[in-house]
């Protein structure tokens, strides 16, 4: 009997399937060789679910998500600037159906890594051979006492998860008097989307310049300097937005007085008309509860070959919740790339095949200076076996020379393609 490679792998897979799982009848699938549960259908979770099914249709994938639609954080600052609406950055989950991803709209409330089960808020449980946790971030409001209640949080918004808060912040800006101050607080790095706050300052300034030209944008940055695309953002603040945007480094937020919209800093109190605070944050709650946190009481350490937690076997972590590799930003683009490395590794592990020892990832971040002109930062990351982490390939990184419209078109094309790559 001679087998070609394809037949051989099918035979191997079928054999592994018998060992790995039983009782998967009635799923509407063909024979399956393993079950994967993914928690969170953002840039990383949805991509992982899609790519596992695309590359291995014999693996069953269940994707658990509490929201009914995907709302993109990238591009959401343009809703604040007024050139996009929430509908423009919203994508349905229907496209994942054609890959055979099973969507479950529910909240994952607990993980039992010994029984290999996820418990959902509805009370049911999902068994898995491999679990992928991609919960994004949760805010650490306990570090800002005045904001540590629901009423305060409805007045001083973060808008750092796109959705209702994006629209609510836009409404606050629209209601603000001309001559008012919009203050934005940025937490210490690492935080989600390093250039995002600076892009937001530009977008609000873009809106003010047209609608409320006497108003000011005040950036209160806990960091000692602009953390991303510094020269390009400074060029905007000293160019088209000169006199409108003020940047204050080393402005760590100690507390907030919600009644007077005052940010309490170490040496100063700053009163605003619209106060927007991005609170310090860490890995999403379900990652914390599952015991995956390894660094700074915030982030989940992983093996970069497989994205598997270094603490809990059989559980992989993706996206912003991970303890970032050197010079690796917490971005939607990066999250999507994490997912593909993880998808390939999970397939290999389930099928007892060797895991790729040379994974690669790209990051591309576009930031809109106004409604048309855009700047980018980009880098290529490869696995470094000696350091056991991803590092930037020498020479393979860079920025735009200056803001330009061509990259404005590319940025919107990027959004369309990454939304499709993640969800369709």
Partner 1 sequence: MKIKFAFRAVTLLAAATVTWPTAHAQDSASVRGMAATCANCHGTDGRSVGTVPGLAGVDKAYMAQQMKDFKAGKRPATIMHQLAKGYTDEQIEQIAAYFAAQKK
Q: How far apart are CA 69 and CA 95, in angstroms?
A: 11
Q: Closer to partner 1 by CB, 97 or 249: give it.
A: 97
Strand intervals (E) in 278-359: 281-283, 293-295, 299-300, 302-303, 308-309, 315-317
Stretch that binds partner 1, among 19-27, 147-155, 302-310, 415-423 (CB under 8 A): 415-423
CA 98 – CA 50 distance, rounded (Å): 9
- In the list 124, 154, 297, 417, the residue contacting partner 1 (rule: CB under 8 A) is 417
Residues 6+ positions from 204 with CB-CB distance below 8 Å: 80, 81, 173, 182, 184, 217
Q: Does 400 bind partner 1 (CB under 8 A)?
A: yes
- Least separation in angstroms between residue 311's CB and partner 1 is 25
Residue 393 found at the interface with partner 1 (CB under 8 A): yes
Nearer to partner 1, 212 or 333 (CB): 333
Of 82, 131, 135, nearest in space to 284 by CA: 135
Report how far residue 249's alpha carbon sits from residue 380's, in angstroms, rounded to the nearest whole number.
29
Distance (Å) of CA 343 to CA 66, 152, 306, 392, 398: 22, 40, 8, 22, 28
- Min dist. Cβ of residue 234 to partner 1 (A): 20
Residue closer to partner 1 by CB (options 165, 364) is 364
Q: Reading across the β-sheet that carries 117-120, which strands appear in turn?
A: 108-112, 117-120, 125-127
The tokens for 42 are: 């953002």
Q: Which stretch binds partner 1 (CB under 8 A): 23-31, 109-117, 196-204, 329-337?
A: 329-337
CB 166 to partner 1: min, Å? 22
Binding string, 332-361, against partner 1, x = CB under 8 A? -x--xx--xx--x--xx----xx-xxxxxx
Q: Which stretch binds partner 1 (CB under 8 A): 57-65, 173-181, 206-214, 388-396?
A: 388-396
> Among 302, 264, 361, which Cα is nearest to 47's?
361
- Closer by beta carbon to partner 1, 43 or else 233: 43
Strand partners, 265: 253
Nearer to partner 1, 88 or 273 (CB): 88
Comparing CA positions, the residue from 198, 149, 216, 192 lying closest to residue 334 is: 192
Integer angstrom CA distances of residue 226 from 51, 229, 231, 282, 397: 36, 8, 9, 21, 18
Q: Is 261 in the site for partner 1 (CB under 8 A)?
A: no
Of 104, 149, 111, which Cα lies nearest the Cα of 128? Answer: 111
Residue 306 sits in the site that holds partner 1 (CB under 8 A): no
The smaller minimum CB distance to partner 1, of residues 120 and 344, is found at 344
Binder among 380, 384, 389, 391 for partner 1 (CB under 8 A): 380
- Is the CB of 262 or the CB of 356 nearer to partner 1? 356
Q: Binding pattern to partner 1, positions 43-72, x when CB under 8 A? A: --------x--xx-----------------
| Binding of partner 1 by 416 (CB under 8 A) | yes
Between strands 117-120 and 108-112, the pairing is: antiparallel
- Identify which of residues 254 and 385 has a Cβ nearer to partner 1 in the complex: 385
Residue number, 70 or 141, with CB nearest to partner 1: 70
CA distance linking residue 60 with residue 216, whole number of Å: 53
Assess 83 for contact with partner 1 (CB under 8 A).
no
Residue 321's DSSP bridge partners are: none
User: Does residue 409 interact with partner 1 by CB under 8 A?
Assistant: yes
In whole angstroms, give the CA distance from residue 411 to residue 364: 10
Interacting residue ranges for partner 1, rule: CB under 8 A: 5, 8-9, 12, 51, 54-55, 333, 336-337, 340-341, 344, 347-348, 353-354, 356-362, 364, 376, 378-382, 393, 395-398, 400, 404, 406-407, 409-410, 412-418, 420-421
């Amino acid at each position: 009997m001679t087998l070609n490679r394809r037949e051989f792998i099918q035979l191997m897979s079928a054999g592994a399937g018998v060992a790995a799982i039983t009782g998967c009848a009635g799923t509407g699938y063909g024979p399956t060789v393993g079950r994967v549960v993914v928690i969170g259908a953002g840039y990383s979770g949805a991509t992982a679910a899609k790519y596992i099914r695309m590359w291995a249709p014999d693996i069953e994938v269940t994707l658990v998500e509490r929201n009914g639609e995907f709302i993109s954080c990238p591009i959401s600052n343009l809703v604040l600037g007024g050139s996009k609406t929430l509908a423009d950055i919203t994508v349905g989950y229907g496209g994942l159906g054609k890959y055979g991803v099973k969507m479950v709209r529910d909240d994952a409330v607990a993980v039992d890594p010994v029984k290999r089960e996820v418990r959902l808020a509805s009370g049911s449980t999902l068994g898995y051979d491999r679990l992928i946790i991609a919960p994004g971030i949760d805010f650490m409001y306990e570090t800002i006492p005045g904001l540590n209640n629901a009423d305060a949080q409805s007045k001083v918004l973060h808008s750092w998860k796109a959705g209702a808060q994006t629209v609510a912040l836009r409404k606050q800006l629209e209601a603000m008097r001309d001559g008012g101050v919009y203050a934005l607080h940025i937490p210490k790095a690492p935080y989600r989307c390093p250039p995002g706050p600076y892009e937001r300052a530009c977008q609000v300034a873009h809106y003010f310049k047209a609608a409320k030209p006497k108003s000011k944008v005040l950036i209160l940055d806990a960091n000692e300097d602009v953390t991303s695309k510094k020269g390009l953002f400074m060029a905007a603040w000293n160019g088209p937005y000169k006199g409108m945007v003020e940047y204050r480094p080393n402005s760590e937020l100690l507390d907030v007085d919600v009644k007077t919209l005052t940010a309490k800093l170490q040496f100063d109190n700053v009163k605003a008309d619209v106060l927007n605070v991005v609170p310090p944050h860490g890995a999403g709650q379900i990652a914390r509860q599952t015991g995956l946190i390894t660094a700074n009481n915030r982030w989940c350490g992983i093996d970069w070959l497989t994205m598997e937690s270094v603490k809990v076997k059989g559980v992989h972590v993706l996206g912003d919740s991970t303890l970032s590799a050197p010079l690796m930003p917490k971005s939607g683009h990066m999250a999507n790339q994490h997912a593909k490395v993880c998808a390939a590794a999970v397939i290999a592990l389930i099928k007892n095949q060797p895991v790729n020892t040379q994974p690669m990832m790209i990051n591309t971040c576009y930031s809109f200076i106004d409604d048309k002109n855009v700047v980018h930062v980009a880098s290529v990351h490869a696995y470094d076996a000696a350091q056991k982490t991803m590092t930037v390939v020498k020479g393979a990184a860079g920025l735009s020379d200056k803001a330009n419209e061509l990259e404005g078109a590319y940025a919107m094309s990027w959004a369309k393609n990454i939304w499709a790559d993640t969800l369709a």
